[in-house]
Amino acid sequence: MQSPPATPEELADLEARIDAWLAGELAENPALEAVERSPDDVVRWFVRVRGDEKDVWTAWWTLGQRTLGFETFLMPAPEENEAAFYEHLLVRNRKLTGLHLEIGEEHAVFLRGSLPVAAVTDAELDRILGSMWAAVELIFKPALRIGFASRFVE
């Protein structure tokens, strides 16, 4: 069942709460490098995150009438070992909670998820960001070594 659309007032309140939460995290969380807003009419945040396995990546959080969507570009399509690469992603996909891996434009790999607007709280925002960070850390380097193996030969 699809959740009901939020009212304009509810969306404005949620937008302000997300702005405040991200500002607080940016000030206190060393993993956050920057937070920017989309210049167009879409309510979207670009959250630049520092990682260990993938140095820097950007999470896109998009607020719609029914959901807060979140995604990040993980990596381009593999150059080699496609079967092993996609097997790795499918195995990792099973262990993700509230997120999933998918193939997007030009067969690039994305990490995505969404949450009904009624369920968005500070704790859920923290869970989303933490889950995205953990998933990127877990998946990126092994997938890179499989799909781009010849680049790692010494």
pLDDT value, residue 153:
78
pLDDT value, residue 1:
63
Structure tokens at 51: 């990682």
User: Which listed CATH number (3.40.50.1000, 3.20.20.70, 3.30.1460.10, 3.40.50.12140) goes with 8-146?
Assistant: 3.30.1460.10
| For the chain, domain boundaries | 8-146
Q: Are strands 100-103 and 56-63 parallel, antiparallel or unpaired?
A: unpaired
pLDDT beneath 50: ranges in the chain: none
Contact 74, 148 (CB under 8 A): no
DSSP string, 40-94: SSSEEEEEEEE-SSSSEEEEEEEE-SSEEEEEEEEEPPPSS-HHHHHHHHHHHHH
Structure tokens at 4: 């009901």
